[in-house]
């Protein structure tokens, strides 16, 4: 088998025959199969069986009684049963024109890539099949946000949200995937680095039936984005936030006992810095301690960084307030958010850097932050 075409379906009965007909024409010269992974509550499975009986290529049906992971879960289930290593995923409503399949396949066989993405946002591609202006806007905005959150992994991809793509299954770590809902390609692409090519396509109108996209899917997507991006970073943020609260409480307690404000602020800041370091050691960077320098050296780097950061940040806030017509609260918030990112980068690149990696080039360093910030955290 040279190609497995995986089609997730949820109540797509009126589209099945036309999809199989058009696919069969374009893959006539290829050893190909179609696998419908179906979670329908209507008669789609029966329709698939009927169409399969007279189809010119193998048409298989996986009907899931327990549809875990929604659309994304269906795609992964398809990968598990596919007969070919070359797996193409497309929607069952003909918004993804089957006539594009040979082009995706040809690009894959031209070599040098693990993934071929059919994109609405490159070259002659269009997204005219999106239901209305709102969907167009949502699609554009979420694509921009996603690319901004994964600037390295998605640098070669204009349409990480498309549902039309081909992968070499062996390049994907199937057991590492945690699909939830629509954006399975995004999850695949951000878990590893791949060699990626794109082919433009016209996102057509639905042949029949209705879209299953919903506000709920949108919320799923945002949760998925945060989980994918902020595995480790979110713990880092929680610990930083906790530190801020402890810091304020300490200042309050110390001044309450008559200690001078400046002295109280210094003691509270240093205590917070030490506490944060211990928590980071235990919960965030525990997996990197082994390869990094010794604990006292790590502490020295972290302690110095935090003191320098605080010493720089406060005059910057003062400067912003004095020159920029912004309130002290906004200036503090902006600098704290910036400091958060710089602190994360510094800790994962410098404090917990592997010992032998003294002079890695910038690109390698960026890849490492990217890698680190997505590692699953532990609490």
Residue count at the site for Mn ion (CB under 5 A)? Answer: 3
Q: Kindly write out the interface string for residues 61-90 of this chain, putting x where it contacts ligand GDD by CB under 6 A and - elsewhere.
A: ------x--xx--x----------------
| Binds ligand GDD (CB under 6 A): choice among 33, 93, 114, 281 | 93
Nearer to Mn ion, 93 or 114 (CB): 93
For residue 160, the 8-state DSSP code is: T
Minimum CB distance to ligand GDD, residue 332 (Å): 39
Nearer to ligand GDD, 138 or 269 (CB): 138
272 Cβ neighbours under 8 A, 6+ residues apart: 243, 244, 246, 247, 250
CB 158 within 8 A of CB 118: no
For the chain, give the longest Cα–Cα distance: 88
| Binds ligand GDD (CB under 6 A): choice among 13, 59, 87, 92 | 92
CB 218 within 8 A of CB 361: no
Helix axes 215-229, 184-191, angle to 10 degrees: 0
| Binds ligand GDD (CB under 6 A): choice among 3, 13, 38, 306 | 38
User: According to CB under 6 A, which residues from 246 to 285 bind ligand GDD?
Assistant: none
| Binds Mn ion (CB under 5 A): choice among 33, 38, 93, 202 | 93
Task: Say how many C-beta atoms besides its own lie within 10 A of residue 345's C-beta.
Answer: 16
For the chain, where are the alpha helices, taking DSSP H only?
A: 16-26, 44-53, 70-81, 101-109, 133-149, 184-191, 215-229, 231-256, 261-279, 295-324, 328-346, 362-374
Nearer to ligand GDD, 181 or 377 (CB): 181
163 binds, among ligand GDD, Mn ion, none (CB under 5 to 8 A by kind): ligand GDD
| Binds ligand GDD (CB under 6 A): choice among 100, 107, 153, 212 | 212
Instruction: Determine, following the binding rule CB under 5 A, whether residue 202 of this chain makes contact with Mn ion.
Output: no
**How many whole angstroms separate alpha carbon 90 and alpha carbon 22?**
13
Instruction: Determine, following the binding rule CB under 6 A, whether residue 240 of this chain makes contact with ligand GDD.
Output: no
Helix axes 44-53, 16-26, angle to 10 degrees: 40
Minimum CB distance to ligand GDD, residue 8 (Å): 3
| Binds Mn ion (CB under 5 A): choice among 9, 40, 44, 95 | 95
Residue count at the site for ligand GDD (CB under 6 A)? Answer: 22
Minimum CB distance to Mn ion, residue 187 (Å): 19
Q: Could you please report the per-residue DSSP string of 178-241?
A: ---SS-HHHHHHHHS---EEEEE-B----SSS-----HHHHHHHHHHHHHHH-HHHHHHHHHHH
- Interacting span for ligand GDD (CB under 6 A) from 8-16, 149-157, 273-281, 321-329: 8-16
| Binds ligand GDD (CB under 6 A): choice among 150, 165, 182, 346 | 182
Nearer to ligand GDD, 4 or 95 (CB): 95
**How many whole angstroms separate alpha carbon 331 and alpha carbon 280?**
26
| Binds ligand GDD (CB under 6 A): choice among 39, 114, 198, 202 | 39
User: How would you class 242 by CB atoms within 10 Å of its CB: exposed for 0-12, middle for 13-18, buried for 19 or more?
Assistant: middle
Strand order from edge to edge, sheet including 86-89: 59-63, 32-38, 3-9, 86-89, 165-168, 115-119, 196-200
User: According to CB under 6 A, which residues from 129 to 148 bind ligand GDD?
Assistant: 139
Instruction: Determine, following the binding rule CB under 5 A, whether residue 15 of this chain makes contact with Mn ion.
Output: no
Distance set, CA 81 to CA 68, 119, 174, 369 (Å): 16, 26, 12, 35
Residues near ligand GDD (CB under 6 A) are 8-10, 12, 37-39, 67, 70-71, 74, 91-93, 95, 139, 161, 163, 182, 211-213
Residues near Mn ion (CB under 5 A) are 91, 93, 95
């Amino acid at each position: 088998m040279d190609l497995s075409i995986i089609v997730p379906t949820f109540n797509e009965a009126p589209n099945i025959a036309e999809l199989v007909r058009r696919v069969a024409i374009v893959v006539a010269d290829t050893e190909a199969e179609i696998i419908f992974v179906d979670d329908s509550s209507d008669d789609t499975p029966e329709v698939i069986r009927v169409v399969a009986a007279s189809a010119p290529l193998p048409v298989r049906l996986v009907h899931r009684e327990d549809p875990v992971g929604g659309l994304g879960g269906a795609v992964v289930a398809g990968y598990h049963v596919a007969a070919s290593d070359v797996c193409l995923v497309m929607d069952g409503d003909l918004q993804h024109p089957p006539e594009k399949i040979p082009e995706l396949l040809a690009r894959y066989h031209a070599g040098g890539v693990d993934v071929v993405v059919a994109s609405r946002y490159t070259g002659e591609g269009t997204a005219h099949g999106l239901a209305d202006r709102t969907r167009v806007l949502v699609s554009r905005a979420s694509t921009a946000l996603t690319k901004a959150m994964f600037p390295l992994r998605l640098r070669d991809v204009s349409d990480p949200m498309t549902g039309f793509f081909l992968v070499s299954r062996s390049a994907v770590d199937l057991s590492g995937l945690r699909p939830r809902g629509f954006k399975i390609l995004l999850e695949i692409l951000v878990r590893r680095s791949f060699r990626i090519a794109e082919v433009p396509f016209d996102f057509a109108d639905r042949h029949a039936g209705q879209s299953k996209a919903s506000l709920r899917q949108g919320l799923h997507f945002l949760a998925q984005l945060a989980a994918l991006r902020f595995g480790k970073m979110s713990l880092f943020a929680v610990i930083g936030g906790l530190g801020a609260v402890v810091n304020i409480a300490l200042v309050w307690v110390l001044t309450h006992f008559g200690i001078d404000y400046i002295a109280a602020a210094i003691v509270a800041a240093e205590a917070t810095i030490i506490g944060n370091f211990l928590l980071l050691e235990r919960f965030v960077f525990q997996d990197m301690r082994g390869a990094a320098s010794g604990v006292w050296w790590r502490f020295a780097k972290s302690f110095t960084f935090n003191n320098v950061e605080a010493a720089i940040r406060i005059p910057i806030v003062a400067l912003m307030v004095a020159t920029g017509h912004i309130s002290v609260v906004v200036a503090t918030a902006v600098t704290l958010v910036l400091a958060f990112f710089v602190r994360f980068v510094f800790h994962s690149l410098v404090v917990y850097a592997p010992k032998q990696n003294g002079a890695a080039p910038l690109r390698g360093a960026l890849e490492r932050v990217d890698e680190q910030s997505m590692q699953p955290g532990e609490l």
